Every structure is written in C-alpha cells, then in structure tokens.
C-alpha cells in the first residue's frame, strides 16, 4: 500500500527534522568535548588572526631528541619560513616553543617538616604558554630568570605542605634540593585529564634547576663525561620527550609539514607529530572513525604527558560522534537536492505562467502605489 503524498511528505519532513536535530546535538556535544581540551588551542591565544598552527611532538625515551636538537629544529623552521615568506626586510614571525620531560617521582618537604610524594617534570622554553593551567598564586618562572630554582606546584601539594594555595615564595625541598615556590596552579579539573593524570600531585621545574636533583645526578643517560674519558662533568639534563611550537602558516599544512618532514628524516619511528590546531575538526574526526582502534591501542613506546593522553581520549570519543553527525546530514542533503530538482521541473513546466504571474503582480503593486500617492 502506497502512502498518500501529503502523508509521505509529512514523514519525510519529520525524518529530516530528527536528522537535523541529532546533527545539532552531536555538533554541540562534540564542540564541548573539543573545547575542554584547551591545550590544543594555544595558537588561538597566541595569534588572534588565526594565521599560526600549533604542533606537538612526542618522542620515545631512546629517540635522542635533546636540547641541542631544539636549536637545530628552530633553525630549520626559520629557514623554511624565510624561503616561504621572502620578506625583503628579513623580519620573520615569532615561533614560540616549549619542551619537557618527566624525571620521576620525588619527596617534597617544606619548612614545616611536612612532606608528600610528587611527580616531577622538567620544562623549558615557553612551557606555560602552552598550558591552560589555572594559576592560584605567584608567577611562572622563565628561562630569563637569573636563578633557575623556581618550582610550580599543584594546589593539592601546596595544601599537603602548607595548608594553603597562597604560598608563593615559600621554600620547598625536592629530595633535599632547595627550591622556592614560584607559583601554585590548580589540579587537573577536566574529567579526561583526571583519568590520565597520576594520583601524585605534580611539580614543574626548569631544566637547569632539574640538573641538581638526584634523579638527574645519578642517571647514566644524563651524566656528562670529561674530555679525558674518565672524570665526570657536572650533570646536565638534555633529554626531551615532548616538544611543542606555534608556527606561522603561510599556506595550508606548511608548518606541520616542515616540522614533520625534518623529524621524520632524523627520528623516524621514534616520534609522533600532532597538528593541534586541526586536531578536532569534524571532517578529520569523521574520517578517523575507521582508525578508531588505533586511538585506543598504543603500539609505540613514545612518552605522552597526561594532557596529550586526555586529548587522545577526546579523539576516541569524537570520532564516532562526528561520523554519525555526517550520516545525519545525508538525508537532509538528499531532500534538498530533490526539492531543487522538483522546483526546476516546476519552473520548466510552468515557466511562462510563473513569469506572467510575477509580472502581473508587479504591475498591480505599482498601480496600488500610484493610486495611494494620488489619493494623498
């Protein structure tokens, strides 16, 4: 039994309305998940014109990417930018970057003799530019500071040591090495970050400051040796497992391709590069649906910080959402094409009548306006 046309049209309209409602709901939910991973939007904060791209790179423990490697990569990026922009004045856009590596767990004590276990991360460059930490007190340390003995600690650690987050300037001791609290930040609040962050609170110190910690002093991979091959030079932390930058993008994918191509030649198989700026685009996530298992199962030995693991969970959630969002648009698009086709057929069949009717309506409107003016 065939449906009557009015009923058929009502069913089609209803299904289209449901499809568009579902697409809107998936769009809003997906947008909320993407926005919650705020570390991926550092380029937006840095470049309000939207002409820059944020890139994150993650390395294995044995990749050999070091602080010296950063200088080489910076030179490569500047060289490629110079060729692409060809500015006669030789002025190039700034390319802020940051790097970091976890250096283990340590005991942190305070002048009050209270202590707590914490995870320690060494950071360099503009590290805090790339983090969307909520600062509760104090100010972040920088590479330009005369003394590199500042530490940024999380709120939970500040409470354990001093019973307050307002303790910037106070002294702490990480495994016996003295630091001062430069700033206190809030603990991770995003649900995905909570899932991926360790239970221990976190402490962030500079690379120079980390060199005095026992974890670095007694680590063979960070120990330097004198020219005579026997005497030991002062320990220096050089290993990097996470590198991030914000690079001007004169053409699509220029920044990502520049960084990825350089690293592929040097560290193939021992790194992963992510285009954070394009990461959660609906079209990209919909295409990633078939590769979703690869987001859940890691086959590499790369070191991912908790904020990156949180974003990987978000990708795992978003891939099916944006895939089905795309499916929801199929019927409305087909319906729109059908309506356009029906309209064109109607115009072809009744084109002259429609034109005559429009002309007649126009004449009547003009006549009424003239009559109105005449009566005035």
Output DSSP code: residue 112: T
Contact 319, 285 (CB under 8 A): yes
Dist. CA 187–CA 33, nearest whole Å: 19
Dist. CA 218–CA 168, nearest whole Å: 30
Residue entry with tokens 């350089």 = 262
pLDDT digits (tens, 9 = 90+) for 242-290: 999 999 998 889 999 999 999 999 998 899 999 999 998 988 888 877 7
CA angle, corner 242, sides to 148 and 172, nearest 5? 30
Reference 189, options 158, 154, 217, 218; nearest CA is 154
Cα–chain center distance at 321:
19
pLDDT digits (tens, 9 = 90+) for 199-210: 899 999 999 999
Dist. CA 292–CA 288, nearest whole Å: 6
Which residue positions in the chain have pLDDT lower than 50? 1, 223-231
Residues in the chain: 376
The pTM of the full predicted model, rounded to 2 decimals, is 0.81
CA atoms within 13 A on the CB side of 185: 19
Contact 116, 107 (CB under 8 A): yes
Which pLDDT score is estimated for 223? 45
Dist. CA 31–CA 99, nearest whole Å: 28
Contact 202, 118 (CB under 8 A): yes
Region of residue 320 (phi > 0: left; psi between -120 and 50: alpha; otherwise: beta): alpha
Region of residue 113 (phi > 0: left; psi between -120 and 50: alpha; otherwise: beta): left
Reference 157, options 179, 184, 134, 182; nearest CA is 184
196: its two tokens = 């991926």
Q: How many helices (H) and strands (E) does the chain have?
A: 12, 10
Cβ neighbour number for residue 282 with a 10 Å cutoff: 18
248: helix, strand or coil: strand
Residue entry with tokens 């039994």 = 1
Return the domain boundaries, the chain. Answer: 1-35+280-301+308-328, 36-279+302-307, 342-376
Phi, psi torsion values for 235, nearest 5 degrees: -65, 145
């Amino acid at each position: 039994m065939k449906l009557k046309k009015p009923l058929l049209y009502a069913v089609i309209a209803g299904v289209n309305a449901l499809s568009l409602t579902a697409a809107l709901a998936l769009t809003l939910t997906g947008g909320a998940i993407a926005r919650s991973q705020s570390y991926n939007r550092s380029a937006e904060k840095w470049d309000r014109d939207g002409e820059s791209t944020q890139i994150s790179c993650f390395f294995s423990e044995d990749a050999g990417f070091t602080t010296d490697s950063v200088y080489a990569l910076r030179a490569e990026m500047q060289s490629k930018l110079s060729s692409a922009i060809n500015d006669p004045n030789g002025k190039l856009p700034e390319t802020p970057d940051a790097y970091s590596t976890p250096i283990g767990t340590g005991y942190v004590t305070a002048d009050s003799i209270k202590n707590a276990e914490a995870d320690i991360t060494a950071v360099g460059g503009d590290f805090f530019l790339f983090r969307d930490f909520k600062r509760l007190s104090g100010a972040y340390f920088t590479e330009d500071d005369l003394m590199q003995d500042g530490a940024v600690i999380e709120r939970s650690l500040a409470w354990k040591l001093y019973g307050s987050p307002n303790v910037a300037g106070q002294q702490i001791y990480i495994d016996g090495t003295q630091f001062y609290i430069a700033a206190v930040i809030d603990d991770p609040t995003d649900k995905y970050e909570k899932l991926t962050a360790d239970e221990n609170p976190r402490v962030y110190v500079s690379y120079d400051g980390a060199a005095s910690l026992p974890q670095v002093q007694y680590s063979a991979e960070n120990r330097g040796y004198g020219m005579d091959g026997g005497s030991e030079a002062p320990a220096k932390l050089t290993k990097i497992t996470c590198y991030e930058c914000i690079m001007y993008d004169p053409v699509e994918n220029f920044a990502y391709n520049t960084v990825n191509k350089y690293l592929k030649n040097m560290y193939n198989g021992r790194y992963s590069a992510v285009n954070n700026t394009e990461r959660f685009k609906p079209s990209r996530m919909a295409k990633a649906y078939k590769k979703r298992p690869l987001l859940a199962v890691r086959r590499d030995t790369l070191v991912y910080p908790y904020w990156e693991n949180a974003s990987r969970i978000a990708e795992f959630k978003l891939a099916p959402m944006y895939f089905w969002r795309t499916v929801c648009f199929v019927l409305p698009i087909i319906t729109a094409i059908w309506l356009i086709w029906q309209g064109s057929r109607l115009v072809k069949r009744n084109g002259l009548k429609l034109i005559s009717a429009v002309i007649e309506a126009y004449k009547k409107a003009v006549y009424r306006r003239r009559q109105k003016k005449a009566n005035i």
